[in-house]
Amino acid sequence: MSLQPTFDDLGTPLSAVTFVVVDLETTGGSPSDAGITEIGAVQVRAGEVIGEFHTLVNPGVAIPPFIAVLTGITDSMLRDAPPIGVAVPAFLDFAAGCVLVAHNAPYDISFLKGACARLDRAWPAPAVVDTARLARAALVKGEVRNCKLGTLAQHFRSATTPTHRALDDARATVDVLHGLIDRVGSLGVHSLEELITYSSRVSPEQRRKRHLADSLPDSPGVYIFRDHNSEALYVGKSQRIRTRVRTYFTASETRTRMAEMVGIATSVDAIVCATPLEAEVRELRLIAELAPRYNRRSRNPERAVWVKLTAEPFPRLSVVREVRDDVAAGAAYLGPYGSRRTALEAVEALQAAIPIRTCTERLSSRSMRSACVLADMGRCAAPCIGGVDVDGYAPIVEQARRALVDDVRGVESALVERLRGLAADLRYEEAAVWRDRLETFARGAARAQEIAALARVPELIAARPTADHGWEIHVIRYGRLAGAAQTGPGIDPKPTVAACLQTAEHVAAPATAPAALAEESTRILRWLDTDGARLVPGTSDVAWSLPAHGAGGLLARLAQSRRAEIVTLPHSSRVLRPAG
């Protein structure tokens, strides 16, 4: 059998596990020197001893006197003992396919790994149980004076007294292991994975809730923890729902708020999904719809912000927290951004290139007020003081709208000219600040333009090969995932494509783009950009394309300049950045 210390095989009963309890005696040197002098091991299964292994080992070096006194192993005893190159492979063969157990396991395992490295042999990476760590977690404070092997052997009434000889110590560790298994078994620990990850942080009540996962499918999809009122507490996704949910009842889950959530939960629902992308999208939608209090994203929806060109007589740039149905009225959006600070950096870049106002007051053709600092600096057309009327302000608004929607050349040329001037004056730090602002604008504009382009397409059908040579198939309508399916290896995907189209969600043409959460469209775009993803021929009547002078090109040019450690200017002009 092959066991790994992961949750992919969660739920291996302890009665079905073969343990090899090992102890080493060493020269006391570095593990990399592999100074092993004795190996003792006991193979046990279901509480019964089924084999033992013991050998002295010639380390090829003299044993320090204090080690000889401690263990009773002398140089003369090891003269005819097998070398590491014989002893360690023999032990690894004895332990093959088993779970290793040791007291203070990192010490013994480090010497075995060191021996494998010296022998140019791959370490088999078995699952490992450390009885010292387990004892510290399982025994209550004051129950034993310490967790040394001798103390624990006496506490659990081991038939063997530890003697600093490998086989005796291994036999004593077997009794300690069985005593600890009995102890944690009464607390609900019955599988290998739970034993490896056992911690006193996980309460017995929390462990007893493992039954909530029993009826869940071990398939890809979304899971919802609910309380006694059926209110959603937490929404998550996984490739294997039951396996993932069971980890919430073990010490592998270290988030404090999750332990609190599990304590409240009384049920778990599952939604099986055809593909990982469908699971991602359903998770996003459920979090937005249910606002479960233990999902950070649902508790902090205000973190996503946009830069908005408002729709009013004198439009302005504003940082907002939602996209409204006002695009048809003349509004335009940039983003989303993760914080207000980064959104304001994008506003700085735009305002440096286009003299559009950023003040918060709504203006009419008759309202006036005093000039602001930007107006005094010549960086705003100042409609607030009559510097321009509605007709004169319109070209400025159109320039800003084009920058947000499909043409960033004006912003790029203005900011690059500023970078050139700052660099010529050796003001490199200030130039770097403005380059970062330009890059922030470009990221938000590229994201918004990509989402808008996808949202204009009534229907896309895309496919991507899976690792097992099947196909993931997705139907995307107006930027929203409308259907998902998956075929197995060697199966013609065309019937599945046809069925997916027939059952896909109807999505009406949106009044404003897109017809989905911005994050959903972003996840879809990311999937479409992965290796192997392709459009299914003949399934879309509308071309999916990005603006010729959009922000994607600007973002690529800025990335290239960063990689070259220069700021690249138009017409092959370059300003070198100072070293450091």
**Least confident range of 52-61, 103-112, 221-230, 450-459:** 450-459
The stretch 351-364 carries a mean pLDDT of 73
Q: What is the C-alpha to C-alpha distance for residues 519 and 284, in angstroms, rounded to an integer?
A: 8
Look up 164 and say whether it is catalytic: yes
Q: Quote the crossing angle between the two packed helices 340-353 and 390-405, to the nearest 10°.
A: 120
> 533 by DSSP, 3-state: which?
coil
> 481 by DSSP, 3-state: which?
strand
Q: What pLDDT was estimated at residue 6?
A: 40
Beta bridge partners of 472: 464, 486
Structure-token pair, residue 123: 């370490």
- Does residue 573 have a pLDDT over 50? no
Report percent pLDDT > 70 for the chain.
84
Q: What pLDDT was estimated at residue 254?
A: 62
| DSSP label at residue 234 | E
Burial state string for 165-203 with b = 16 or more CB within 10 A and e = fewer than 16? bbbbbbbbbbbbbbbbbebbeebbbbbbbbbbbbeeebe
Domain residue limits, the chain = 14-196, 204-299, 303-436, 457-535
> 112 by DSSP, 3-state: which?
helix
CATH of 14-196, one of 1.10.10.10, 3.30.420.10, 3.40.470.10, 1.10.240.10: 3.30.420.10
Q: What pLDDT was estimated at residue 98?
A: 95
Q: What is the pLDDT of residues 424-443, one digit of tens each?
A: 888 888 888 999 999 999 99
pLDDT band at 315 (very low <50, low <70, confident <90, very high): confident
- Does residue 120 have a pLDDT over 70? yes
Number of residues in the chain:
580
> What spatial distance separates the first Cα and last Cα of the chain, rounded to whole Å?
55
pLDDT band at 379 (very low <50, low <70, confident <90, very high): low
The stretch 366-392 carries a mean pLDDT of 58
Average pLDDT, the chain: 84
Q: Whole-prediction pTM value?
A: 0.61
Q: What pLDDT was estimated at residue 438?
A: 92
**Least confident range of 165-169, 189-193, 559-563, 565-569:** 565-569
Q: What is the C-alpha to C-alpha distance for residues 343 and 214, in angstroms, rounded to an integer?
A: 46
The stretch 48-69 carries a mean pLDDT of 92
164, 178, 190, 549: which one is catalytic? 164
- Does residue 307 have a pLDDT over 50? yes
Which CATH architecture best describes the domain 204-299? 3-Layer(aba) Sandwich (3.40)
Q: Which amino acid is at 107?
A: Y
**Least confident range of 269-278, 370-379, 437-446:** 370-379
